[in-house]
Structure 1
Amino acid sequence: MQVEDVQSLAREIAARMAPDALLDAEDVAAILKCTAKYVTSQYAITPGFPGAIRLTGPGDRRSKPRWKRSDIMAWIDSHQGGRSKRGGRPRNAD
């Protein structure tokens, strides 16, 4: 590997680790340990999942969806409790 390749890779890694970095579906999938298709078809439509950012490029073409790293990490933190210990549907508090 050339020095330029290593430096380029280091810049790319640093950019993706910044809290305000914009992550694509592949980056989010790597964090969530799933596929990019699952991110866009399942997680992205889940209520409470961070909204995607779509930038306008040349010729008014919209980019693929991107998410702020800090929003994704906050969403993950909010779901760390996981399922309740008992499972099943919640009971009425009557």
Structure 2
Amino acid sequence: MNVLDAESAERIYRELYRTLGKAIGPQMARNILKMGESDFDKTDPSKSLESLNTCLVTAFGKATAQVMVSTSVKTCFEDDRAQLILGELSRLGILGD
């Protein structure tokens, strides 16, 4: 089983987008992220998450972006699955140094 399949990546992407939209408003979220919730690319889910993360880092800083991503993962998935996904995101360079 692929740890970060398209469905899992899309859940994280949409959760991040919704959370940010609730915090600062959907239009402001679109302005900051320069992408919409519908811009998720199912053919390249890792790239979609990387692009979203880059926008979050630019807008809020790396530490805040990492908290946002890890919180979204923990919201979307049970403990064991969340830990596997967090490990994969670290491997991809989305989380960690």
Normalised by the size of structure 1, how large is the TM-score? 0.29
- Higher RCO (C-alpha 8 Å, min separation 6): 2
Of Structure 1 and Structure 2, the greater strand share is in 1
Normalised by the size of structure 2, how large is the TM-score? 0.28
